[in-house]
Amino acid sequence: MKTIKLVTLGAAAIAVIASAIWFSAPSSEAAIPDVQAAKQSVTNYIDAIEKHDVNELIKWVKDSRFNSLEEQKTAYATMFSNDPFEKAVITTVKKVDDNNLIVSLKLIRKGNGKSQTLDLPLIKDNGSWKLYITGVETKE
């Protein structure tokens, strides 16, 4: 079960990394202020992953899989070395309502280069956009 959590977390983390490339691409959704703010939150999340900064990473995600903040921090720290993805690209961000967005990510696996699409919710939490992780699996 712990391995699935780590793989899931790793997938979400890497999935977000490639979004930095996508931010410069034109989009009809770019005019929506909530989408822009959500993209900035995802960028902050990506930066935290690249720096292996667990405390910063936690600021940009709401993760219901863990019973405590310490458990979450431990899993995230482990995720940095077990990440099964080499690349991630945001393909779309869709607004559901004023407090919910859906980000679609294309994940590229290390080694075999296979791609997988993953949809993750973004929620507005106390005025900030956060990735909402509830137990998404990214098995090969």
pTM (whole model) above 0.95: no
Residue 132 has pLDDT above 70, yes or no: yes
Q: Mind listing the pLDDT tens digit for each residue in 72-90?
A: 999 999 988 887 777 767 7
Mean pLDDT, residues 110-122: 87
Task: Find all residues with CB under 8 Å of 81, minimum gap 6, and list them.
Answer: none
Q: What is the pLDDT of residue 25?
A: 42
Is residue 31 situated within a structural domain? Answer: yes
Q: Mind listing the pLDDT tens digit for each residue in 16-65?
A: 443 433 444 444 444 468 888 888 887 787 778 778 899 999 999 999 99
Is residue 138 situated within a structural domain? Answer: no
Is residue 139 situated within a structural domain? Answer: no
Q: How many domains does the chain have?
A: 1
Is residue 91 situated within a structural domain? Answer: yes
- What's the CATH number where 101 sits? 3.10.450
* Domain range enclosing 66: 2-133
Cα–Cα distance, 29 to 45 (Å, whole number)? 20
